[in-house]
Structure 1
Amino acid sequence: MLTEVRPTAAAASRGRRTRRRTLVAVLATLVVLAPIAWFWAASLPAGSWSVADMGVPDDGGGPALMAGHGHGHDGTVGRSVDTLRLPASVPADVTVTLVARADGARYTLNGRTPGPEIRAVAGQVVAVRLVNENVARGITLHWHGLDVPNGDDGVAGVTQDAVLPGQEFVYRFRADQVGTYWYHSHQVADEQVRNGLFGSLVVEPPGGVSPDATALVHLFDGKRTVNGAPGEVAVPAAPGSTVRVRITNTDDGPMRAWSATPYRVLAVDGTDVHAPTPVSGAAVLVTAGGRADLEVVAPARIELGGAAVVVGGGGAPAPVPTATVDLLTYGSPVALGFDPTTPNRVFDYAIGRRPGFVGGVPGLYWTINGGLYPDVPMFMVREGDVVRMRISNSSGEVHPMHLHGHHAVVLARNGVPATGSPWWIDSLDVPDDATYDVAFVADNPGVWMDHCHNLAHPKQGLVAHLMYEGVTTPYRAGPDTPNDPE
C-alpha cells in the first residue's frame, strides 16, 4: 500500500522561493540580453542598400535639406551621379589603358606595381580605360586628391559598380589642378591598395615643369619601397641644380621625410605653398594618402624612414630630426578666395570609439558624433555653400581624414589659428586629443565619401558622406551586390 507523502510547509515555501529566484534570474537575463539582441539585429546589413538612405541627415545649421530626395530646393528634378561626368563628346588629350591582374597575393596594373605614372598638362582631358583581367572581387579607380566630377570618383556602390573580371570602365576628366596626386582602387580598398592597385598621377603647369621626380612610397612585405623598389632610388641631377621630389604616402599611417641639407616644402596635397622658406633640422609629416613636394639642391638625399631618394649622388644618411615642420605657420598668408568667417553650414566630425555591433559583429568600433555605422552623419550641403567643419579625435589613435572631391583649408589646430601660407589639404592627420577647424566651398556636386584613410578603419565604421541637395545615385552596396567600397 502506497502512502502519499505531502511536502511540509517549509519545503513548499522553499520551492516557491526557488521558483521566484529562477523567474527573477530569467527576467534579469532578458532585461540584459533583449537590448543586446535588438542592437545586434539593428546592425545587420541589408542585402542591398543605397548610401543616399544611410545615416542621420545633418544640415549644419543651414536651411533644411532632404537626403536622397532627388529634387533641388527650387523644385527641379535632381541629378544622378551618372550625369555628373565630362561629356563623352569632349575629345581626350591623354589616353591610357590600365589592365588589372591578380598575381597571387599581389595585384598589378599593366604587369607592374605601382601602376604606370599618368601625366597631363593642366587643362588636358584624360581618358583612362580600366580593364579587369582577373581580379575576382572587382576593382575601381579613385583619383585621390584630384577633384574630378562625381561620376568619375571611382567609389564602388556610390558612383559606379565595381568592374568585374572581363569588364572595363572608362574614366574621363579634365585635369585642371596642377599638382601631385595618385590613383588607387576603392573596391575592397584595404586589401587592394595594400597589395598593389595604385599609381601616381601628376598634373603639370602649362609650359612644362622644372626637373622633378616622383617618390611613391609603399610598404611591401614590411619593407618601405619607393616606386616599388626597396632601399635608395637615384635621381640624376647636375650639382647646384634644384629638383622637385613629389612624395606620396600610399600607406595607412603617417610618414616623416627629411634631409641633411636645406629643403623647401613647395606644395602639400597638390596645392602650392605661398612663399616657402628653407627648412633645416626638421622633418615634414606626410599623412596617409597625403603628398608633399620637396625642393632640394643637388647633391641631396631625402630620407623616408627606411628608404631614400638620392638626388645627384646625394650624401650620407641623416638621422631623424626631433623637430617637425609646422604647416600651420609655414610660409606666408595670402587670400583664400572665400570668407570662412560667414559659413552657410557648420558641421562637427567627432571621432570616438565604443563597444557595439557593426554588420552584426560585436567589437570595439569607431564612432562619429557618438553614432556607430551606419548611424553616422550625412552632411547635407547646397551647391555654393561655404562650409566649416570641426574634426576632433578622442578615439585613442591617429586618423588620416580624407574628403573626396574637395580641398579644405586648415583654419586652426586645437584653437590656435593658422598664420602661415593657406594650408590646403585633402588628407589631414588628426592625432588623438586633437581638434582641427577646416573650411571649404561646396563647389563640386555629388555624393562624396569623407573617411579615414587608414583603409582598415572605414570597414570598422569610420566613414561618413557629404551629400549635395538634389543629387541621387542608382548604385547600391551590400552582400547582394558586387560593391564593397571599404
Structure 2
Amino acid sequence: MPSRPDLVRRVSAGVAVAGALGLGALGWSSTLLGEYSVIDMGGGHASHIHGSGSVAAGPAGEVSVSELIADPLRPPDVRVELVARRQTVDIPGGRPVEGYTVNGTSPGPTIRATKGDLVEVMLVNESVRAGATLHWHGVDVPNAADGVAGITQDAVPVGGRHVYRFTADDAGTYWYHSHQVSHEQVEGGLLGAVVIEPALPAADPPAKQFRADAVALLHVYGGQHTLNGRVQDEHVPAEPGSTVRIRVINTDQGTAAVWSAAPFRVIATDGHEVNGAAAVDGRKVLIPAGGRVDVAVQAPANGTARLHVGGARSISIGDPASGDAGAAPPARQPSETLDLLAYGDPAPPDFDPRSPDRTFDYTIGRRLGLIDGRPGNFWTINGQLFPDVPMFHVREDDVVVMRIANESGEVHPMHLHGHHVLVLSRDGKPASGSPWWVDSLDVHPGEAYEIAFVADNPGIWSDHCHTLPHAVDGLVAHVMYDGVTTPFTINGGAGNQPE
C-alpha cells in the first residue's frame, strides 16, 4: 500500500504545463495518482474532517470490507445470474449502438424481490474487457456487496464471476449498474432496474391499492432518448378509475422531468414512501441523475391519461380499447416545479438530527490543476483537488449532519452509497413536508442543503456526483467507518477504475 507522500506527489510537470499555458500565477497543482488506496485519502487513519467530530481509527480491531456481508448461512430467496457483455445494443424504434448488455439486452432484466428476501446475484463477465462490477444504487447493501471496484472488490475480469448477497430491507424502486469505468459502462447500458415489493400478510391480495405497476427506466443511448430501452412510448392498460403506479428511474447523466396534464401524486422518492402525497396539478417533478420517483396516476373514465417521462417519451394509462381516438394529447412541460421540501405531510423521523455526533462540510468548487497529468478545470471539495479531498470519518450509530454547498457553476446530483439521507433544509429554509428521504440529490449552483443520516451500515462508502464525468474529474469523497479497512486498491494490477 502506498504511503501518503506516494499518493499525492507534486511534480514539475504541473509547473511546466501551467507555465506553457501562461497560467502559473493561478496556482495550478499537479497530482500523479499511480496505485492507491482510498484509506490513504484525507490523511488516511488520521482524520481529515471539515466540521466537527474528529475520529482517529487505529489498527486494533480493524475489519475488512470483505467481511461486511449478509448472513452466509442463509439460503437465498431470490437467485439471479447476470451476464455482462460488450456488444451491439439493439434499440427498438431507433438505431443500434455499441455498448454493453446484461443477459443480452439493455436495460438488463428487472430484479424483483419482496421485502425481507435474501437476494443472491451471480455476475458473469463474458466480454467486458476493462472488467465489470454491479452496484446496487439506492439499496443499502452490506459494504462487501456495494460493487465499487478498488474499494469493496476487484473488478471482475473477462471469464470471471462474482457473487453479491444482500437482504432486501426496504421496499421501493432501485437500480443496478457497473461501478467500474462507470462513466463509460453506465452510459453504454450496463444497468437494469430493481423492484422490492412490500411484504404483505398472506391473506391480503397483492397490489390491493394499485391495479397496475410499471417500470419506466429512462436512458440515452447515442443521443436516443429511450423508455425501457426503446425509442417508443408505452401504454399501461387500466380500468377506468383505477390507480396505476409508475416507477420512474433516471439512469442518465442529467435531470429528468415528469409531468402530466392530469393530476397525479408523487408517492415515493428514492424508494421511500411519501407521507400524505397530495395531487400535483400544473407542476413538473424533477428527478436527479440516479434518482427515482414513483407516481400514482388514475385512469380516466374515458380514454387515457398521458404521463410525460424525461421529456422525449410518455406513457398512456387507461382503457386499451380506446385506441388513438381516446389517447390524451401531449401536454406542454409546466414551468413550475414541485418543491419536495414542502410536499406531503410532516412526520417525525426515527432519529433526532438536532444534536448530531458529527457535522461535516462538503463544499463543491472548481479550479485549474492537473490530475494524473491531465490539465483541466477540475472539481474541488472543500477547496482541494482529488485525491487530497476530505475523508468523512464516523463511528457506528453516529447521527451525522452534512452541509452540501455548491459553489460551482453546474448542477451536481450527489449520491451517498449505503445510506439514505434525510433532507433537513435548503438555503436555511427548513423542510416542512413529508420526510424527504433521498440517495440522489440535485444541488444547484449557489444552493446549500443540510442533510442527516444515521451511520448504521459499517464500511467505506463513496459519496460522489452522479453526473459520472464529474466523478471522473474529482467530485468523489468517502464516508469511512472507524476500524474499517480495505485490501483493494485503485489503478493497480487488478485494473480497478471505479469512475
Instruction: State the TM-score, normalizing by the size of structure 2.
Output: 0.87
2:284 is matched with which residue? 283
Number of residues of Structure 1 aligned to a counterpart in Structure 2: 450
The answer on 1:78 being equivalent to 2:62 is yes
Does residue 183 in structure 1 map to residue 176 in structure 2? yes
Counterpart residue identity of residue 83, structure 1? E
Aligned counterparts of 1:89 and 1:227: Cα–Cα separation in 2: 36
User: Which residue in the other structure is 1:112 paired with?
Assistant: 105
Cα offset, 1:362, TM superposition: 1.3
1:96 aligns with 2:89: no
Aligned to 1:52: 39
Checking the alignment, whether the CA contact within 8 Å between 2:18 and 2:28 is kept in structure 1 is no
Provide Cα deviations, 1:311-367, integer angstroms capped at 9, x if missing partner: 125511111001111001000100101111100111000000000111121110000
Alignment of 1:303 with 2:308, yes or no, is: yes
Alignment identity in percent?
Answer: 54
Give, as a single letter, the amino acid of the residue that structure 2 aligns with 1:225.
T
CA distance in 1, matches of 2:66, 2:492: 23
Q: Deviations over 1:206-260 (max 9, x none)?
A: 1243321000000112121111011311111112110000000000110110011
Q: Deviations over 1:155-193 (max 9, x none)?
A: 000000000000000101000101000000000001000
Question: Hey, what's the Cα distance between the residues in 1 that align with 2:316 and 2:271?
Answer: 22
Matches within 5 A, 1:282-361: 282-298=283-299, 299-304=304-309, 305-312=311-318, 313=320, 314-361=327-374
Question: C-alpha separation between the residues in 1 aligned to 2:18 and 2:39?
Answer: 35
Aligned with 2:385: secondary structure?
A: coil
Aligned to 1:20: none
Unpaired segments of 5 or more residues in structure 2? 1-14, 89-97, 201-205, 321-326
Residue aligning to 1:384: 397
Q: Report whether the alignment pairs 1:263 with 2:269.
A: no
* SS of residue matched to 1:438: strand
- Distance across 1 between alignment mates of 2:221 and 2:144: 31
Question: What one-letter code is carried by the residue in structure 2 that aligns with 1:157?
Answer: G
Counterpart CA distance in 1 for 2:391 and 2:164 is 26
C-alpha change, 1:29 and 1:387, in structure 2 (3 Å) is closer
Cα distance in 2 between the residues matched to 1:437 and 1:62? 15
State the superposition RMSD in angstroms: 2.0
Q: Partners in 2 of 1:361 and 1:30 — Cα distance?
A: 10
The partner residue of 2:446 within 406, 411, 433 is 433
Aligned AA (2:37): S
Contact 1:381-1:442 at 8 Å conserved across structures: yes
Q: Does the 8 A contact of 1:70 with 1:471 survive in 2? A: no
Supply the distance in 2 between the matched residues of 1:131 and 1:40 (Cα, whole angstroms): 43
Letter in 2 for 1:452: C
Give the aligned partner of residue 412 of structure 1: 425
Check the 8 A contact 2:397/2:455 in 1, yes or no. Answer: yes
One of 165, 168, 188 as aligned partner of 1:172: 165
SS at match of 1:55: helix
Q: Matches of 1:41 and 1:425 in 2, distance apart?
A: 35
Residue by residue over 1:82-115, the C-alpha shift from the partner in whole angstroms, topping out at 9 and shown as x without a partner, is 1100132111000100011111421111100000
Structure 1 alignment gaps of length 5 or more: 1-27, 72-76
Query: How many angstroms does 1:70 deviate by?
Result: 3.8
| 1:2-13 equivalence runs, <5 A | none
Give me the whole-angstrom Cα distance separating, in 1, the residues matched to 2:82 and 2:308.
31
Whole-angstrom distance in 1 between the partners of 2:348 and 2:256: 30
Correspondence 1:231-270 to 2 at 5 A: 231-270=232-271
What is aligned with 1:395?
408
Question: Who is 1:481 aligned against?
Answer: 494
Secondary structure of the structure 1 residue equivalent to 2:66: helix
Equivalences for residues 29-68 of structure 1 within 5 A: 43-46=31-34, 48-56=35-43, 57-59=47-49, 62-66=52-56
The alpha carbon displacement at 1:41 in A equals: 8.6
